[in-house]
């Protein structure tokens, strides 16, 4: 592969007078998992939303190498094309699973809906694929007809992941996917995500404030402070040999167990 899958070029986003992120550039290559770390308010979620086409940056461009239609400028696509891209080639895992799921329909329908959106019509096939994915994310098949309202937080998050991955996306955006979950539930989810990323050779951009999550799941890290990327590199380089004062402070702040 000679081209990056995703290329951010000078992304700047302002809200009024406040600059949420400034001049962010990077290339994401196929099979890479890039982590964006930093404290609350550092601009990482804003950046993620710009990358995924959910927010329009004030400056800069996001280029995406599609599976079959060449390179596209994400923010110059029509709304319809961008939605199609988001449904077919991308996934987006929200911190709050309620935002990424339809709470009023069954788990099976949540997974099946994504399939129908990309053209699946045969009920038996959809049901079978949904069942496979229930098992892959370690949800009991006896819960397939339950609504996510009857699920625990960890189960909802696994269902959201199944809903996103069922359509075989090439690129997944994740915003604090383990945030707000109990530690034991987090470990299970991390392990699951790690396995899925490997198995399906996914590329991903993962926002987290948890350096332990970043260590386990990402190949590369960008550290953000005040809307700017202040340090970047291989994950183990950034965490074991942090260069910037802010990164050193973040790494030194991890509580030993």
Partner 1 sequence: MSPVLRVSGLAKSFVMHAQGGLELPVLQDVALDVAPGECLALVGPSGAGKSTLLRSLYGNYRPQAGSIRVRHKDEWVELVDAEPRLTLEVRRQTIGFVSQFLRVIPRVATVDVVAEPMLRRGASPEEARRHAEFLLGVLGIPERLWSLPPATFSGGEQQRVNIARSLISDYPILLLDEPTASLDVANRDGVIDLIRDRRESGAAIVGIFHDVAVRDALATRLHTVALPGVRA
Residue 144 pairs in a beta bridge with: none
Stretch that binds partner 1, among 38-46, 75-83, 157-165, 189-197 (CB under 8 A): 189-197
Closest contact distance (angstroms) between CB of 110 and partner 1 is: 25
Tell me, residue by residue from 131 to 170, as one string, x for binding to partner 1 by CB under 8 A and - for no binding: ----------------------------------------
Q: Which of residues 120, 187, 228, 230 is near partner 1 by CB under 8 A? A: 187
Closest contact distance (angstroms) between CB of 44 and partner 1 is: 19
d(CA 194, CA 201): 10
Sign of CA dihedral 236, 200, 5, 193: negative
192 and 5 in contact (C-beta within 8 Å)? no
Residue 207 CB partners (closer than 8 Å, separation 6+): 35, 36, 37, 44, 45, 47, 48, 174, 175, 176
Distances (CA, A) of 163 to 56, 87, 129: 25, 10, 11
Number of residues engaging partner 1 in binding (CB under 8 A) = 24
Closest contact distance (angstroms) between CB of 87 and partner 1 is: 29
d(CA 72, CA 82): 10
Q: Which of residues 9, 12, 66, 237 is near partner 1 by CB under 8 A? A: 237
Tell me, residue by residue from 199 to 228, as one string, x for binding to partner 1 by CB under 8 A and - for no binding: ----------------xx--xx--------
Closest contact distance (angstroms) between CB of 43 and partner 1 is: 21
- 5 to 44, contacts with partner 1 by CB under 8 A? 29, 32
Q: CA angle, corner 174, sides to 90 and 80, nearest 5? A: 30
- Report the residue number, 46 or 178, with the smaller CB distance to partner 1: 178
- Report the residue number, 55 or 190, with the smaller CB distance to partner 1: 190
Helix (H) or strand (E) holding 44: helix 44-51
Q: Which of residues 18, 98, 102, 194 is near partner 1 by CB under 8 A? A: 194
d(CA 166, CA 129): 8
- Report the residue number, 135 or 248, with the smaller CB distance to partner 1: 248
d(CA 5, CA 14): 26
Q: Decide: is 182 part of the binding site for partner 1 (CB under 8 A).
A: no
Q: Which of residues 25, 149, 152, 243 is near partner 1 by CB under 8 A? A: 243
213 and 235 in contact (C-beta within 8 Å)? no
Residue 72 pairs in a beta bridge with: 64
Closest contact distance (angstroms) between CB of 190 and partner 1 is: 7
> Which residues sit at the interface with partner 1, rule CB under 8 A?
29, 32, 187-188, 190-191, 194, 198, 215-216, 219-220, 233-234, 236-237, 240-241, 243-245, 248-249, 252
């Amino acid at each position: 592969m000679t081209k990056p899958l995703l290329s951010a070029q000078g992304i700047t986003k302002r809200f009024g007078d406040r600059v949420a992120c400034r001049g962010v550039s990077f290339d994401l290559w196929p099979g890479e998992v890039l982590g964006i770390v930093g404290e609350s308010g550092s601009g990482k979620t804003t950046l993620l939303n710009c990358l995924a086409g959910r927010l329009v940056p004030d400056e800069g461009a996001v280029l995406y190498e599609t599976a079959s239609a060449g390179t596209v400028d994400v923010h110059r696509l029509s709304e319809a094309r961008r939605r199609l891209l988001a449904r077919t080639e991308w996934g987006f895992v929200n911190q709050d699973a309620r935002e990424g799921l339809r709470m009023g329909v069954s788990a099976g329908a949540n997974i099946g809906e994504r399939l129908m959106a990309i053209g699946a019509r045969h009920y038996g096939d959809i049901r079978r694929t949904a069942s496979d994915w229930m098992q892959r994310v370690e949800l009991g098949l006896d819960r397939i007809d339950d609504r996510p309202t009857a699920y625990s937080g960890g189960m909802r998050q696994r269902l959201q992941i199944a809903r996103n991955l069922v359509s075989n996306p090439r690129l997944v955006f994740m915003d604090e996917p383990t945030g707000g979950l109990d530690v034991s539930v987090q470990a299970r989810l991390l392990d699951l995500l790690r396995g899925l990323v490997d198995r399906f050779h996914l590329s991903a951009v993962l926002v987290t404030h948890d350096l332990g999550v970043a260590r386990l799941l990402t190949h590369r890290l960008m550290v953000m402070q005040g809307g700017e990327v202040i340090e970047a590199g291989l994950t183990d380089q950034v965490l074991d040999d942090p260069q910037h004062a802010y990164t050193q402070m973040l790494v030194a702040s991890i509580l030993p167990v």
